[in-house]
């Protein structure tokens, strides 16, 4: 906004996720210290409200519009404003001094909510994950009221998973962090080119660290800004070509500054994985060149390269999109001019598997439809939970009929935009779906998903899913392996048998685009495609702000070499409607 007041501090990379996390941490620390339940609830509600925002948080604070959001009062508004400008706020800092740092770390262990953390802190004086693990090994957790042997074992297993994933971050979290830093870097006078590299540019589902690359004739100003950003917790190193920091989120970030004529080679070098880079360098060597992060050389002479496209062309290869740079056949395909034209975000015309207030969603049908329209989508497939999912407000038959009537009314009002009638039906233990045939026949599409009882053997889980896929009412297989990134591995499955069943019965396999899932894993997409499977990219949205998650799924689809034609929801509304009406075996 022209002429608007801006903070005196350098541009801050504090994100919406950072603010929501800080508010949630305050709520947890208040509960652990025995504060007023109303204050605890206020911070919890504020955290949820911030997470659900679809508008730009910085703009809403600057204009004061955030005060109009339910759950945001004047006091919390001031906290949010302070967080955006300085990276923290008074209440947060006061509690962090009062509550040992290890307490917050314990909250990151799956199953250790504020109540359990408070119990082990007060009863056993446990103040860290290490102490929690030792107490579990000594059998001390099992004797606490409300715990028991099973809970103790679950906590020990959760700690093992936590340690396995402790230094990794969800793609969405790392992307938000990186985008904020990149914006700050780009605002520095003299910076000409910049990009995010590494595994983030390759769209890996989880990220270990962030690499940012920039060109400028004077590195000092950009390094000064980078190392003094409000969200920097620790400066590891600061130099003229590379600086390294640890952000308050815990993510390690490297900023490298190179010369303009080095940018193309450096962009490639800091984007591919180690194996990809080794193979491309070997390719260059066969052609009489030497390739490294500083450029392409013929003898001692640097070959002028404008960009990555020109670099690949010089090596006799088509441009390899960053997502494919995993040494998984992309180099050979690029040499043979056989790389597929990958799907793009703009190819998505609608999406499915979206929840509303009819089950555990936080937005109404109308709100979801209007948000999808605002994103430029032509249609949205609703898929609220079925009746067995009591924990998620699953719909009984009366609720189903009410929802279907409301969808019909909205379709008349919102045409040509279409809400497709659907359900996310639980796959029961024996593979049956969660309604009778008459009820299932009333939906346009059925997303069949496993939501509980994951502990079966590979044979049992495979039979359960294949049985569900074989049901003539099943349209899509939801989050196929059930994994939750950085928290829960997928259940054991014979994926070949599942792919065969989906291909035979023309059931779409969902690429669940929710950043906590990104399931099916990209490593399996090419195999499934080769077996005749087609896919659908769904956000598993529970709020209007989550519908756009489909873009994360597109990144996963690209990593799996998928094209527009491989994905169902690149079709027009008429194309989708016609496909859903076709009878299946």
- CATH code where residue 359 lies: 3.20.20.140
474 strand-pairing partners: none
d(CA 446, CA 538): 13
Is position 8 within any domain? no
Encode the chain (585 residues) as per-residue pLDDT tens digits: 333 333 333 344 577 888 998 999 999 999 998 888 999 999 999 998 888 887 788 889 999 999 988 889 999 999 999 998 888 899 999 998 888 888 888 988 888 888 899 999 999 999 999 999 999 999 999 999 989 999 999 899 889 888 877 788 999 999 999 999 999 999 999 999 999 999 999 999 999 999 999 999 999 999 999 999 988 989 999 999 999 999 988 899 999 999 999 999 999 999 999 999 999 999 999 999 999 999 999 988 999 999 999 999 999 999 999 999 999 999 999 999 999 999 999 999 999 999 999 999 989 999 999 999 999 999 999 999 999 998 889 999 999 999 999 999 999 999 999 999 999 999 999 999 999 999 999 999 999 999 988 888 999 999 999 999 999 999 999 999 999 998 888 999 999 999 999 999 999 999 999 999 999 999 999 999 999 999 999 999 999 999 999 999 999 999 999 999 999 999 999 999 999 987 665
Judgement on whether residues 291 and 249 belong to the same structural domain of the protein: yes
Judgement on whether residues 35 and 143 belong to the same structural domain of the protein: yes
Q: What is the pLDDT of residue 2?
A: 35
- Whether pTM > 0.95 for this model: the answer is no
- Cβ neighbours for 168, distance < 8 A, ≥ 6 positions apart: 206, 207, 208, 486
Is position 80 within any domain? yes
Yes or no: say if 382 and 422 are a contact pair by the CB < 8 Å rule: yes
Where among 272, 303, 335 does a domain terminate?
335
Judgement on whether residues 128 and 219 belong to the same structural domain of the protein: no
d(CA 118, CA 101): 14
Is position 33 within any domain? yes
d(CA 298, CA 303): 7
Q: What is the pLDDT of residue 500?
A: 98
Judgement on whether residues 369 and 425 belong to the same structural domain of the protein: yes
Where among 165, 181, 197 does a domain terminate?
165
Judgement on whether residues 153 and 272 belong to the same structural domain of the protein: no
* 528 phi/psi in degrees, rounded to 5: -60, -40
Burial of 488 (0-12, 13-18, 19+ CB in 10 A): middle
Q: What is the pLDDT of residue 584?
A: 60
The rounded radius of gyration (Å) of the Cα atoms in the chain is 26
- Cβ neighbours for 428, distance < 8 A, ≥ 6 positions apart: 388, 434
Is position 214 within any domain? yes
Q: What is the span of the domain harbouring residue 279? A: 170-335
Judgement on whether residues 482 and 547 belong to the same structural domain of the protein: yes
What's the distance, CA 38 to chain centroid? 31
Is position 10 within any domain? no
Judgement on whether residues 100 and 218 belong to the same structural domain of the protein: no
Q: What is the pLDDT of residue 585?
A: 52
| Helix, strand, coil distribution of the chain in percent, nearest 5 | 50, 15, 35
Yes or no: say if 484 and 110 are a contact pair by the CB < 8 Å rule: no
Judgement on whether residues 390 and 524 belong to the same structural domain of the protein: yes
Judgement on whether residues 317 and 398 belong to the same structural domain of the protein: no
CA angle 350–353–356, rounded 5-degree value? 105
Burial of 21 (0-12, 13-18, 19+ CB in 10 A): middle
- Cβ neighbours for 578, distance < 8 A, ≥ 6 positions apart: none
Is position 249 within any domain? yes
Judgement on whether residues 180 and 329 belong to the same structural domain of the protein: yes
Element (H, E) at 456: none
Is position 405 within any domain? yes
Query: How many domains would you assign to the chain?
Result: 3
What's the per-residue H, E or C state across 227-253? HCCCCEEEEEECCCCEEEEEECCCCEE
d(CA 67, CA 74): 7
Yes or no: say if 318 and 339 are a contact pair by the CB < 8 Å rule: yes
Where among 275, 304, 335 does a domain terminate?
335
* 354 phi/psi in degrees, rounded to 5: -125, 135
Give 295-339 as a DSSP string: EEEETTEEEP--SHHHHHHHTT-----GGGTTTSSHHHHHHTT--
Residue 383: name the closest of 355, 420, 350, 418 by CA: 355
What's the distance, CA 177 to chain centroid? 13
Judgement on whether residues 331 and 423 belong to the same structural domain of the protein: no
CATH number for position 195: 3.30.460.10
Judgement on whether residues 121 and 237 belong to the same structural domain of the protein: no
Is position 90 within any domain? yes
CATH number for position 145: 1.10.150.110
And the tokens for 19? 């603010």
């Amino acid at each position: 906004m022209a002429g608007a007041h801006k903070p005196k501090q350098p541009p801050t990379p504090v994100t919406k996720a950072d603010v929501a996390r800080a508010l949630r941490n305050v709520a947890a620390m208040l509960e652990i210290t025995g504060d007023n339940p109303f204050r605890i609830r206020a911070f919890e509600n504020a955290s949820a409200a911030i997470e659900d925002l679809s508008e730009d948080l910085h703009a809403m604070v600057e204009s004061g519009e955030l005060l109009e959001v339910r759950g945001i009062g004047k006091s919390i508004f001031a906290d949010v404003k302070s967080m955006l400008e300085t990276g923290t706020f008074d209440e947060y800092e006061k509690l962090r001094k009062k509550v040992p740092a290890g307490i917050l770390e314990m909250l990151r262990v799956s199953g250790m909510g504020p109540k359990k953390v408070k119990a082990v802190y007060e009863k056993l004086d446990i103040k860290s994950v290490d102490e929690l693990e030792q107490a579990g090994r000594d059998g001390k957790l099992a004797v606490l009221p409300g715990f028991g042997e099973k809970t103790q074992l679950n906590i020990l297993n959760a700690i093992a998973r936590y340690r396995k994933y402790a230094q990794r971050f969800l793609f969405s979290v790392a992307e938000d962090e990186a985008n904020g830093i990149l914006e700050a870097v780009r605002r520095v006078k003299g910076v000409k080119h910049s990009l995010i590299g590494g595994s983030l540019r390759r769209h890996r589902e989880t990220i270990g660290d962030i690499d940012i690359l920039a060109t400028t004739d004077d590195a000092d100003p950009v390094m000064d800004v980078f190392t003094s950003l409000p969200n920097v917790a620790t400066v590891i190193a600061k130099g003229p070509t590379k600086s390294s920091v640890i952000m308050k989120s815990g993510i390690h970030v490297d900023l490298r500054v190179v010369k303009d004529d080095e940018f193309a080679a450096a962009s490639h070098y800091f984007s591919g994985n180690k194996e990809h880079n080794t193979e491309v360098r070997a390719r260059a060597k066969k052609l009489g060149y030497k390739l490294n992060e500083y450029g392409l050389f013929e003898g001692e002479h640097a070959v002028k390269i404008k960009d990555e496209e020109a670099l690949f062309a010089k090596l006799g290869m088509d441009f390899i999109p960053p997502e494919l740079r995993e040494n998984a056949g992309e180099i050979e395909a690029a040499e043979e001019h056989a790389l597929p034209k990958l799907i793009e975000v703009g190819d998505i015309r609608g999406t499915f598997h979206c929840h509303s207030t009819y089950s555990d969603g936080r937005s109404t049908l109308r709100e979801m439809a209007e948000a999808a329209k605002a994103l430029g989508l032509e249609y949205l497939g609703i898929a609220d939970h079925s009746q067995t999912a009591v924990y998620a407000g699953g719909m009984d038959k009366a609720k189903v009929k009410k929802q279907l009537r409301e969808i019909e009314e909205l379709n008349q009002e919102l045409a040509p935009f279409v809400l497709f009638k659907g359900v996310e039906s639980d796959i029961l233990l024996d593979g049956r779906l969660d309604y009778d045939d008459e009820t299932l026949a009333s939906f346009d599409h059925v997303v069949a998903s496993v939501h509980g009882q994951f502990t079966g053997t590979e044979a049992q889980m495979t039979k359960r899913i294949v049985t569900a896929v074989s049901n003539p009412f099943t349209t899509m297989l939801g989050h196929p392996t059930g994994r939750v990134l950085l928290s829960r591995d997928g259940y054991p499955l014979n994926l070949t048998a599942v792919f065969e069943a989906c291909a035979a019965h023309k059931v779409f396999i969902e690429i669940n685009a929710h950043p906590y899932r990104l399931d099916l894993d990209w490593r399996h997409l090419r195999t499934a495609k080769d077996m005749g499977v087609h896919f659908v990219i769904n956000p598993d949205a529970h709020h209007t702000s989550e519908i756009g998650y489909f873009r994360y799924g597109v990144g996963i689809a690209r990593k799996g070499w998928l094209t527009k034609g491989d994905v169902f929801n690149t079709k027009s509304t008429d194309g989708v409607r016609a496909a859903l009406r076709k009878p299946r075996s």
